[in-house]
Amino acid sequence: MEREIPDMKIYTYPDAVLKTTAEPIKNIDEDLQKIIDQMFKTMYLAPGIGLAANQVGILRRVIVFDGSPGEEEPFPHVLINPEIVAGEGSIKWDEACLSVPDYTADVVRKSRVQVKGLDRHGNPLDLEAEDLLAVCLQHEIDHLDGILFVDRISSLKRALYKKKLKKKNKGDH
């Protein structure tokens, strides 16, 4: 019997699912393939360049991302159980997040990273990335560990964002 994966909702800060560590994936099955396909659809519709399973309420270690963000042709990639195994350099990037709407902030990250994981068929992957792609991978892997980019900015900037969010939510009611 074919099981349909419904459209995905992107959870937003401060939802608790975003602060929860995702579980490693032990079994790459048909359900996971459907989740991955739906994550791509959700990411591109948002629009975004990366999406972690936590962001759509699925606490499993899988991310999808566009391997060539900003280019004409999409270049979809999947990483299952991704892990940063090396990093060097430093880069400051104005980051945004589908789970932190209407907010960007400068975040300092490694400018180059080496990431290991599995592709959607369970084959080992070893990726080297720099600049925007390196930032994207670090950002999405942080999600799997329950860390948002606002956790990496100063407490003052985070407090200002929370205040802005509270004000916006009051206006919605």
Q: How far apart are CA 134 and CA 5, in angstroms?
A: 30
Give me the catalytic one of 4, 71, 130, 140.
Answer: 140
| Pick from 30, 134, 12: nearest CA to 82 | 134
Name the DSSP class of 19.
G
CA–CA–CA angle 73, 9, 106 (5° rounding): 65
Alpha-carbon gap, residue 100 to 105, rounded angstroms: 11
The Cα–Cα gap between 37 and 25 comes to: 16
Annotation marks residue 140 as catalytic: yes
CA–CA distance, 54 with 118 (Å, rounded to integer): 18
CB 42, CB 54: distance < 8 Å: no
The sign one gets for the Cα dihedral 16, 85, 91, 53 is negative
Q: Which residues carry out catalysis?
A: 140
